[in-house]
Structure 1
Amino acid sequence: MKQFKKLWLVGVSLLALPLMMLMTQPHSVRAEKVNYAVTPIYPANQTDPNLGYYDLKVKPGQKQTVSIAVQNSGSKAAQVDVTPTTATTNDSGLMNYQPSDKAKDSTLKYAFSDLMSGSQRVTIPANGSQTVTFTLQAPKADFAGKISGGFYVSEVADDAVTKSLSGKGATLTNRYAYVVGVVLHQDGQPTVKPSLRLQAVKPGLVNAHTAIIANLQNTHAESLGEMDIKAEIRKVGQATVLYQNHQQGLQMAPNSNFNYGINLKNKPLKAGRYQLKMTVKGNKGSWVLTKEFTITRQQANKYNDKAVELPKTNWWPYIIIGLLAVIILFLIWLLWKRRKHDEDETK
């Protein structure tokens, strides 16, 4: 679980006001200093105090408190939100611990956020610290594998920033967040390895570019790291590779899924029957997955029309050729009409 060995900082830029206002009104940029930090407070059932994240061995039905310390090194009080979150996999192929509206995976039996008490907003005094405590209720039944999640700690937006965003000037500010990972597991349970399944495959757009989107699912309660994915797309029954893609360093959370995008490199989608082959290698196994899928003419036209940087058909040559054809046919008709008229006069 290398992704838990450190706290990472997430910079989120907030920018408001329409483009025209940005072009006509003065705006300022605030460089924010990170004045707070977080430290896990390990309970007695922590397996290793040197991990940098919570690795808790729990028993069925166990109820306990889990605490995290937030330090404020700034000269004024700060407010932060501390939110327990369930680990998911984002569409970049990375484990994600941010609060998300993404639907739970169909194979996820125990979501970490459902086992913890709710989010808390706390005020940290200047040059002080605050301990934030949550209640963990472990599943009543035995479970194999791991339940993964984290504490997402984010600063509350400054009222002055909010007001400036709604005023005439535009303000760009940075907001930061820390994540401390949490893993729950039980003793005496069978070893679980990740298991991948290729679900729906369909045409679409990725960053406004034509793509084939394949939903990849990890159906077991174990994470997968160091993923190397090679994707190849062929027409059904043919050997020629039409599109291919290769990505490295991806991850998947336990019992999660994500949409893996295969960029067509500004080539238009074409209707037909295709086969996707994905070769996946990771630190806990390897898989070869295949699935056939169809691109309809309606889908191809829909996404090709919306795609950027896609060569568009130049209709002018066809229009000119069509007009020339009509003119030529008209002239032929006139010549035929005149010849017929001349023949009638000579009779």
Structure 2
Amino acid sequence: MNHLKQMLMALLTAFGISFITAVPLHATVGNYGIRPNYSSNQVVKNGQIDIFGTPGSTQNISISVVNKDTKDHRYTVTVNTAYTNNGGTYSYSKKKVSDPSLKIKLANLVSPRVQTVSVPAGKEVDVNFQIKIPKKRFSGYLMGGIGVQPAKGEKAYKTVAKNGTLLTNKFFQGVPLKVRQDKNSTMQPKFRARQVTAFANASGKGQRGVKANLQNYVKGFNGNINAKATVTKRPNDHKFKKTATLTGMSPAPNSNFDYLIDWGSTPLQAGNYHLHVKLTSSDKTQSWVVDKDFTITSADAGKYNKLSGIKPNYLWLWILIAVLVLLLVLGLGIYFGRRNNKKQN
């Protein structure tokens, strides 16, 4: 029997047909859940679908949407390209993403990209997509995700918080996707700083500093990276130092994000600065270093200090005026004193 089953599997695989096997629910939020299904050309780990296929081939992907409510509901299922949020982790909740190094967008390889499905109460429905593996060979990963949320017109899910507040939400749930042309192909990210600019919290709550736009400019990925950014003044001014750390980062391939270095209570000052970022994988096997010089202009320092609620300090100007007035009075006193002496002589 086992021999016959193996022969059947081999025939089906040869004709491009795959068995779909379900795994436990990946996530359940609100009144519905989702579950990734997998086939022989996929690896499912931690709820993530890792697809591999030869160039030009078409691969099938599938998820199940489970309606746990007592009423029928409609859900919108979308496949998006991955990007990196400002926490340094990859996400796929946006329909449009861009980066100068992003040449192949996963969402453009998927058909259909958007589907709306009706799921009866207490039932589940499979949602199927096809991914066209690019004909041109590439190394590394194309990344994105399948996002599921209540369709337009569906009522928000209501919950009550511990403090008694009524909360209404339309929860977004998703399954991450990775696409490779070779199951054994891996690639680490590479980082660089595109630019470093001043920023401030426009609400006037005091946050100000600089943001370094870091870019992973290759199709590499590492799911657990820690980073420490240090800003110093140039040249060789070691008295000034600002640091900021991020842990558990997972930047998407060919993406960029803003790494914020908060100045704390220190006002921004015009001058020349240097950014140094050390990134290390959690297992200590990989590390990256990013360095970049940048300048804060007087105009930017004044603008963002004001936005963050710092009022200009004119004490130094009043002191200068007082000193000048004192010197003027002393000068006039000496001048008239000498003139009176000459008249008397």
Task: State the TM-score, normalized to the length of structure 1.
Answer: 0.75
- Tell me if 1:109 matches 2:107: no
Alignment of 1:240-251 (within 5 A): 240=238, 241-251=240-250
- Structure 1 residue aligned with 2:289: 288
Q: Deviations over 1:183-210 (max 9, x none)?
A: 1112287642211112211111257621
2:33 — aligned with what?
Answer: 37
Residue equivalent to 2:343: none
Residue 14 of structure 2 corresponds to which residue in structure 1?
A: none
- Aligned-pair distance for 1:38? 0.8
Partners of 2:232 and 2:273 within 8 A in 1:
yes
Map of 1:126 onto structure 2 = 121
- Residue 221 of structure 1 is matched in structure 2 by 219
Question: Where does residue 271 of structure 2 map in the other structure?
Answer: 272
Q: How does 1:1-347 map to 2 (within 5 A)?
A: 7=26, 34-48=30-44, 51-103=46-98, 105-116=99-110, 117-156=112-151, 158=153, 172-187=167-182, 191-205=186-200, 209-240=207-238, 241-282=240-281, 283=283, 285-308=286-309, 310=310, 312-313=311-312, 315=314
Unaligned runs of 5+ in 2: 1-23, 158-165, 340-345
**Mind listing any 5+ residue stretches in structure 1 that lack a counterpart?**
10-32, 163-170, 341-347
Q: Secondary structure at the match of 1:59?
A: coil
Question: Counterpart of 1:38 in 2: which secondary structure?
Answer: strand
- The amino acid of 1:251's aligned partner reads S
- Aligned-partner Cα distance in 2 for 1:78–1:6: 18
Q: Which residue of 2 aligns with 1:15?
A: none
Q: Deviations over 1:279-318 (max 9, x none)?
A: 111256212221111111111111111014x4x3455896
| Cα separation, 2, equivalents of 1:237 and 1:324 | 32
Counterpart code for 2:225: M
CA 108–297 in structure 1, closer or farther in 2 if over 3 Å, else same: same
Deviations 1:249-271 (A, max 9, x none): 22211121111000000311111
Corresponding position of 2:19 = none
Does the 8 A contact of 2:142 with 2:219 survive in 1?
yes
Check whether the contact 1:276–1:291 (CA below 8 A) recurs between aligned residues.
Answer: yes
CA gap of 1:8–1:286, structure 2 versus 1, over 3 A, is: farther
Report sequence identity in percent. 31
The whole-number CA distance in structure 2 between the counterparts of 1:96 and 1:212 is 23
Matched-pair contact (CA < 8 Å) for 1:206–1:263: no
Question: In 2, distance between residues paired with 1:290 and 1:216?
Answer: 11
Cα-to-partner distance string for 1:316-342 (whole Å, 9 max, x where unaligned): 896699699989989x99xx99xx9xx
2:37 counterpart letter in structure 1: I
Q: What letter corresponds to residue 106 of structure 2 in structure 1?
A: F
Offset of residue 214 of structure 1: 0.5
Deviations 1:97-133, CA, capped at 9 Å, x for gaps: 2125442x22222211111122112221112222212
In 2: Cα distance, 1:152 partner to 1:160 partner: 18
CA contact (8 A) 2:87 2:246 kept: no
CA distance in 2 between partners of 1:285 and 1:218 (Å) = 14
**Residues 9-55 of structure 1, C-alpha deviation per residue, up to 9 Å, x if partnerless?**
7xxxxxxxxxxxxxxxxxxxxxxx8221111121331135x653211
Q: 1:318 to 1:146 in 2, by over 3 A?
A: closer
Q: Distance in 1 between matches of 2:302 and 2:40?
A: 60
Q: Distance in 2 between matches of 1:151 and 1:161?
A: 21
Could you say which structure has the greater relative contact order, defined with CA pairs below 8 angstroms and 6 or more residues apart? 1
Residue 275 of structure 1 deviates from its aligned partner by: 1.0
- In 1, the alpha carbon distance for the partners of 2:214 and 2:326 equals 57
